[in-house]
Structure formats: C-alpha cells, structure tokens
Chains A and B, each alone.
Chain A
Amino acid sequence: MADEAPEYEYDLWLYIAGQTPKSLLAIANLRRICDQYLQSRYRVHVIDLHHEPERAISDNILAIPTLVRKLPPPIRKIVGDLSNTERVLVGLDLTPRQHTGS
C-alpha cells in the first residue's frame, strides 16, 4: 500500500445503506465530481452499511449518505446526497484553481 499513497491523493469513503435513491444519487454525484475535479488522483470506497453494519460504529456514522475524506488530512465529513457540487467542493476543502499548488 505504501507505494499507492502518492497515487491516491484523495481517499474518499462513501457510506450508504442499501440501494436507496439517495444513495444512488450520492454515488453518481460523487463520481461526477471526482471525474471532473480530481481526475485520477482519487480513490473512492463505497461502504454499504447493510452489508457491513459494524462500520457504522467503528467509523462513527449516523447520517446516510456520508462522505468522509480520509486523505488528505484533516478528516472531513459531508452528509447528504451531494446534489450541490459547489458545496461539496467547499466541504471537501477542494477548489479546482487553488488546489494544484498544495
């Protein structure tokens, strides 16, 4: 995994619970935003809590969907179906112009 670290600058975890419309919408929105703003510098894990319920406790998840940015630090959380791209970018502390330098 050590050599993968630089490859995936953004480590994103999306928690859903079943194939609900909200979840599907969140997945779609996330993929769109990532493709658009992060190109290949990201990796997305989708966790379905219906399959891995213990992760709700270990990862302290209450709201569904929840997007967690584990990398780069600090950890950031966004809840909701991610339907507002602008606010997702703000929430991830990710604005396209500023980003490249940091």
Chain B
Amino acid sequence: MYKDLSVYIHIPFCVKKCNYCDFVSAPPKPGQLKAYADALCEEIKLSAAYADNFNIKTVFIGGGTPSLYDSSVMVYILDTLKSTFENRRRGSYIPEELTVECNPGTLDKIKLSDYKRAGINRLSIGLQSADDKELKLLGRIHTYEDWEKSMKLARMCGFDNINTDIISGLFGQTVGSFEDTLKKALIYSPEHISVYSLIVEEGTPFYEKYNPESLSGEELDKWEEEDRLIYEMTNKVLSEYGYERYEISNYAKKGCESRHNMVYWRRGDYLGFGMSAASFIDGVRFANTDSFGEYTAAPYGSVKEKETLTLDEEMSESAFLALRTSYGISCGKFYDDFGKDIHDIYKDAIEKWTGNGMLIEKDGRIFCSEKGFNICNMIMADFIL
C-alpha cells in the first residue's frame, strides 16, 4: 500500500521583493538560478527512498516567483521528480494536482504551453489588488492590466483551474475600494480565490511604515474596523458569485478546492524541496535551511529544525488545523486517530466557544461560525494542549 504524498517545491527568487513579504525570497544574483535548480534536482534525486512508500498526489511549486525560471528549467525539475518517483510497478506518474505560482508580467504563451505539456494543470496568478496605486504601495511589479493579460493568456492555453491571491486590510483601504478589486478579479472567474489579510511582519519595509506602534490609537481603530468590514463583505460577495469558503482564507467554486492545501489542514504527509521548505512525514515535522549557501552546498540533509510530535502536540495540531477549514473537526476522525473523545480532551474550550456561538457543533463536526472565523486565533489557542 502506498501512502499519498504532497510535494512542495520552493523557488526563493523574485524579480523584486514585495514590501510586505517576509518569506525566503530575493532577486537572484548572477549564477544563483542555475546553482539552485541543480541543488533542487539533487535533493529530489537523493530523496528516492520515499518512492518506496509514497505516491505523489499533488505538487505545488511556490515561492518567490517560480515563473521567473525559464520553462525548460521547470520542465527539468518536474522531470527529475517524475523519474525519481516513477517505478515500474506503478507505471507512469500523474499527480492529480500540479500547481505553479506565477506572477503577472513573467508569463508568455510559450512558457504556458510548456507548463501545460509538463503536466501542470493548475496556476496561481497573484493579483493582490486591482488598484494600481495599491499595487505600487505593496511593491508589486505588475499592474491590473498585466494580470488581465496573464489571465487571458492562461485561459487561451487551456488552463481551467486557476487561483488568484488577493490581499485585504491594507492601510487606507475601504470596503468600497476592496469590493472594486474583488469584482475586477471576478470578471475572469478564477476557479479559486485566496483572500489574505495583510499581516505587517517585523523586518519588512511595511513594518517601518505601518507598525502598530507608529500609528495613533484612532488610526489603528479605524484600520481595524474597516478591515473587519472588508472581511465580512468579501464573504458575502464571493458567496453571491458561487464561491464557497472552505478554509479561513480560501474560496473555491464547487470541486475546485485546492487538494494540496487540504493536505496541510488534514495533516497528510508532505515533502518540501528547496530552501526553507517544510515537510511533514509520518508525524515528524522538519524544514530545510534558510541559507542559500548552506542549501546549495548540501541540498539533501540541510534540515535546520526537526520536531517529533508528542501525542498532545498531534491532537493540538489536528484540532487547530481542522478549525481552519469550514468542515471543521470531525469528532469521529479524532476518535479514530487518537482513541479519545474530543469532548474529554477539550471540554472547557468546546463549552466556552460553543457557548458564545463562535464554534458550532453539528452532525459530529465542530467548526467555526462566521463570527468565529474572525477571531479564530483566540479559539485555536484554546485548543493548544
């Protein structure tokens, strides 16, 4: 019996780092692109042992901007993955979902056709905002028009499963301006939309500008209130357009939920390749180094942290990750996994949060109400043992 495996491949390069970004990504220095691709392929090849037990179901190539690479490199990386995980008994290797993250302005027809041929069947084309002024503020390299072009091109090349990322909660954004962004995105009917509230992370240019301490109480209150209204409006508008919220920040048309994403919430096994990539295999979490030098010097075995989970940690994760999804925690699955009644483990938390309507228990599931989603951190923190 082979177990399902999801693969994440991290591309730590972008044309220009966005002002809010605190991920491991930067414009490539000369020679880095090739060195990194070689290192990636080496890491993949040296992971061949996993092929004995696992069967790849989904692949997500994220970043950074993976589409920065010439498509031949992308094909080379995917071929390496394929030859490593293919074996005679199982025959050919066809992941159900193979996504590449792309930035408008880095796509062309040839690249997209190459992607298609390489088996890529899902694209994530980040819009972030349909307002060019906001895009500039965010430090994005593209305009709304660039995104439109990319969307048209992708459709033309036959991609019928496209995600677009949108960021909400920018300072100065209003319900009206955000609704405009949403509607402009909806013109191209992406199958999947991710809406993230901006988190102002320390160490980013945004932090200098908008760190909570530098704003007055009044400004903060206003920003926060607008942010919440935007959040509620988003849910309303997207459901009118036939999208279902299946996770805190993810909306999809029926059947177009990202399988790869769901693996994270359901605590399936996944293997990450590349700098800073996180993995979760057989109850052990580990992640690669953040350093380019360290990674390229020894791509396989550059693990910087490794964590074997205790039972309490497993239960905590299982609960808080499931609470991110609209489906929520399945009490039956919790019992199957841990041999314990969830009500015994989380008696106080469940009573407290169902009591005030933030959580709902129904048909053997425990899930966040719409209001609960707004404050889910507070709820989830109570599910950490």
Task: Note whether A and B form a binding pair.
Answer: no
Q: Which residues of B contact A (CB under 8 A)?
A: none
